[in-house]
Amino acid sequence: MRIALDAMGGDHAPRVTVAGAIEALREAPGRIRELILVGPESLLRAEVDRLGGGDLPLRIVDAPEVIGMEEGPAAAVKAKARSSIVVGLTLHARGEADAFVSAGNTGAVMAASLFVLGRIEGVARPSIGAYLPGPEGFSFLLDVGANVDCRPEHLVQFAHMGRIFVERILGRANPRVALLNIGEEASKGNELSKQAYALLGRDPGLRFVGNVEGGDLLQNRADVIVCDGFVGNVVLKFGESFAEVLERLVRIRLDARSLGGETLGGLGAILGELRALFDYEHYGGVPLLGVNGVVIIGHGRSTARAICRMLWRAEEMVRLEVNRHIAEALRALGVSS
């Protein structure tokens, strides 16, 4: 298992990326045979030395250019062929790495992945998924930003890719698939929703359970929930803010009632646990499903712990052969791009 890490990706790189890489290698020796840090060699070498990682299976591959978080994705990928994103993905495409992980510019990672790795055969639109916590576990929502405009058949492919991911990574057999809509009835929604509902309902490879509404997202009504990337990204950003705002509101009301410190402390611990369920650090990163390789994308504010968990997610994707199963499912169903 060899994983390439964009050591310059994220708001706090390379300090947290190198620290996360070292944490992953020390936490489970041997699980990752080699971790490849991609970025300016001298800078990364100094960071590894500072953190005392010289005894670990780390390799540094020089990539002197960096794609900033605010740069236009397509133009940056073309102009910066020696960037940490492009070089890291090229290592993956050549077979020198089994996966690629980045907390950098999401659009650039997507654009470069399509350019360098290409798509899995039959995939029209790669998709990014995200986890939604609920009382009985997690639901997997996709797309959350890769595809703002979609056709009905794209949502069907998202459903198949999400189903495979949930089966392999979350271990759920025959997962329930739902469509995010403004009502439960088949007649509700815009034209995209109505046509997608019909296609999903006729697909023999999916356990389609119908529409779910916004109020159902955290109720475990389905294992996989599909929507276009515009709607999905709005849901994702709302979820990221939800727990933090809830905690603040509760504390304000407790303070107003002058409750004791013991009550505040106990409730604070519970709220902290709930907040963690919505925290990107809890999951590390999310997969870019549909590209011909394993790509994990993390939040720009990722901590060292989040980077570590992104690396574990990449290792799982490779070990459980998620991409092979996606390709086989699409071939078996005659799904074409």
What is the SS3 assignment for 55? coil
Q: Which of 56, 21, 81, 237 is nearest to 145 (CA)?
A: 237
What is the SS3 assignment for 35? strand
Q: What is the DSSP code (8-state) at residue 120?
A: P
Which domains does the chain carry?
A: 1-123+290-337 (3.40.718.10)
Alpha helices in the chain (DSSP H): 15-27, 41-50, 73-79, 84-93, 106-116, 152-169, 191-202, 229-256, 261-277, 280-283, 304-319, 322-332
The overall average pLDDT reported for the chain is 88
Tens-level pLDDT at each residue, the chain (337 residues): 899 999 999 899 899 999 999 999 998 888 899 999 999 999 999 999 999 998 999 999 999 999 988 888 888 888 899 999 999 999 999 999 999 999 999 889 999 999 999 999 889 999 999 888 888 888 999 999 889 899 999 999 999 999 999 998 888 999 999 999 999 998 999 999 999 999 999 999 899 999 999 999 988 899 999 999 999 999 988 877 776 777 777 777 766 666 555 555 566 666 666 666 666 566 678 899 999 999 999 988 889 999 999 999 999 999 999 998 888 888 776 654 4
Which residues are CB-neighbours of 337 under 8 A, at least 6 positions away?
A: 119, 121, 122, 123, 124
Please give the model's pTM, rounded to 2 decimal places: 0.87
What is the SS3 assignment for 335? coil
Helix (H), strand (E), coil (C) string for 228-279:
CHHHHHHHHHHHHHHHHHHHHHHHHHHHHCCCCHHHHHHHHHHHHHHHHHCC
CB atoms within 10 A of CB 313: 20
Give all strands of the β-sheet with 176-180 in edge-to-edge order. Answer: 58-62, 34-39, 2-6, 99-102, 295-298, 285-289, 127-134, 137-142, 224-226, 176-180, 207-212
Which residue's entry shows tokens 């740069």? Answer: 71
Q: What angle do CA 69, 114, 58 make, to 5 degrees?
A: 65
Phi–psi pair at 252, nearest 5 degrees: -60, -45
Number of residues that make up the chain: 337
